[in-house]
Structure 1
Amino acid sequence: MAKFLNTSATNYFLEEMIKDAKDRLVLISPFLKLNDRMKELLADKDRLKIDVRIVYGKSELQPEEINWLKELTYIRTSFCKNLHAKCYLNEDICIITSLNLYEFSQVNNNEMGVLIRRSDDPELYKDAYEEAQRIIRISDEVRITMERVSSEGEGKQDNEEATGKLTSSKLAQKLGLKTSELIEKLIAQEFLEDRDGKPYITQKGKDAGGEFRMSPKFGPYFLWPESLTI
């Protein structure tokens, strides 16, 4: 039978669920900003080579989260558009709750949730697990490992000034192109490659001076040398 959880119980069982995961761990939360305790628990799962999937739904992933996730091998992060669900599960239990995986929510908000044990409610657990897997399938895996992000960067303009390079939109404007046209040309010349409709920088693009950046305000973008030949 499912168990009702208040705020403190949700936080307690969430921590216990992460600690007890031996095979898999799925964390689905629109907002992602981890406190130190949560990072410590997840880093331990990474050391134990536990398969961890984190799905979030807001594009403003903080630079400190990106830099921290970059160091972890067995934690994969995905972005799901229009995500509102909050669901956390391992191979034995599932928590469905109003609680975001966000340090402010865990400390300040009044939350409610339910705890589902696989041994007590196998069908209910199965339904929740299958829906979590569907959300993972429709989400876009974030290639955190592509570039380290500077926590001092405040946005595209700061990075342009610091590097002397232009964003794709600024470079397109300089060349008299639409941004989409520039992206197509960069893909055609193998500076970028198309993966499921999204551009990713290639080694050739990096060798030409291109850089991948992630801004907490603007999301992912590229910087290019002003003299790049298209």
Structure 2
Amino acid sequence: MAKFLNTSATNYFLEELIKGARDRLILISPYLKLNDRIKELLEDKNRLKIDVRIVYGKVELQPEEISWLNKLDFVRTSFCKNLHAKCYLNEQMCIVTSLNLYEFSQINNNEMGILIERDDDAELFKDAYEEAQRIIRISDEVRMSLEKVVAQEPPKAEEASEEGEDEEQHSKLTTSKLAQKHGLKTAEMLDKLITAGYLELKGDKHFITEKGKEAGGEFRMSKRFGGYFLWPDEIYM
């Protein structure tokens, strides 16, 4: 039977859920700003090579958070437009709650939640798990270049001097803008570039190939957001 959770119980069982993951962990939260304890637990799951999926829905993701997430090879992060659900699952437990995976909320807010255990409520757990999988499927995975995040934020002056000037001076597009031109998601464009032989995937990181360079592709480094790729406007795929 599902259990009611108050604020402290939600935080407690969230940690237990992360610690107890043995194969798969799904964390769905519109706002994402992890406290040190949650980061430690996720780093441990990464060392154990457990598949972790994090889905968030607001673009206020800080560069420091992005940089930290990118160091974890077995943690994949996705952006889901119009996300409002907060749901956390491993193989045996699920929490549906008002609590965002956000440091301020965990400390300051009054929250409620429901704990569902697979052994006690198999059908309810299955429904929650399938909905979580649907949200993952409609989300846009944020990969090495973090271009999904960059594309949604208005460029500031210092950013324009990096990516903006590169595009203007070289008549080239970032992967995200190339994807927009073709009506694709960034992840889909990255897959096409891999299929064309312009990029290769090593672990969870993308690297430009010699073929990609010959086609006019370039790898650039932004001081604020890290690495990204530039491509000719009419690159052949």
Q: When the two structures are superposed, what TM-score results if normalisation uses the length of structure 1?
A: 0.74
Distance 1:127 1:212, change over 3 A: farther
Which runs of at least 4 in structure 1 moved beyond 2 Å after TM superposition?
A: 193-216, 220-224
The structural deviation recorded for 1:183 is 4.3
Residue of structure 2 in register with 1:211 after alignment: 220
Q: In 2, Cα distance between the equivalents of 1:121 and 1:11?
A: 21
Q: In 2, Cα distance between the equivalents of 1:140 and 1:72?
A: 18
Q: In 1, Cα distance between the equivalents of 2:138 and 2:83?
A: 11
Q: In 2, Cα distance between the equivalents of 1:25 and 1:32?
A: 16
Distance 1:205 1:183, change over 3 A: farther
Q: In 1, Cα distance between the equivalents of 2:46 and 2:37?
A: 14
Distance 1:195 1:104, change over 3 A: closer
Distance 1:53 1:229, change over 3 A: closer
- The CA deviation string for residues 106-150 of structure 1, in whole angstroms up to 9 with x for no partner, is 01111001000101100000000000001011111110x237x9x
Q: In 1, Cα distance between the equivalents of 2:35 and 2:52?
A: 17
Residue of structure 2 in register with 1:41 after alignment: 41
Are positions 1:86 and 2:86 aligned together?
yes
Greater C-alpha Rg: 1
| Alignment check: 8 A CA contact 1:210 1:223 kept | yes
Residue of structure 2 in register with 1:190 after alignment: none
SS state at 1:43 partner? helix
Residue of structure 2 in register with 1:146 after alignment: 145
Q: In 1, Cα distance between the equivalents of 2:142 and 2:94?
A: 24
SS state at 2:83 partner? coil
Instruction: Extract unaligned runs of 5+ from structure 1.
Output: 188-192
- The CA deviation string for residues 72-91 of structure 1, in whole angstroms up to 9 with x for no partner, is 11111111111000000100
The structural deviation recorded for 1:71 is 1.0
The structural deviation recorded for 1:61 is 1.6
Q: 1:1-230 to 2 correspondence within 5 Å?
A: 1-143=1-143, 145-146=144-145, 156-161=156-161, 163=162, 166=165, 168=167, 171=168, 183=178, 195-196=187-188, 203=208, 204=212, 210-211=219-220
Amino acid at match of 2:121: D
SS state at 2:110 partner? coil
SS state at 1:67 partner? helix
The structural deviation recorded for 1:211 is 2.9
The structural deviation recorded for 1:60 is 2.4
Identity percentage of aligned residues: 60
Instruction: Extract unaligned runs of 5+ from structure 2.
Output: 200-207
Query: RMSD of aligned C-alpha atoms?
Result: 4.0
Distance 1:135 1:208, change over 3 A: closer
Amino acid at match of 1:146: S
Q: In 2, Cα distance between the equivalents of 1:5 and 1:113?
A: 5
Q: When the two structures are superposed, what TM-score results if normalisation uses the length of structure 2?
A: 0.72
Q: In 2, Cα distance between the equivalents of 1:87 and 1:4?
A: 14
The structural deviation recorded for 1:156 is 3.7
The structural deviation recorded for 1:159 is 3.3
Q: In 1, Cα distance between the equivalents of 2:163 and 2:47?
A: 39
Distance 1:65 1:214, change over 3 A: farther
SS state at 1:196 partner? helix
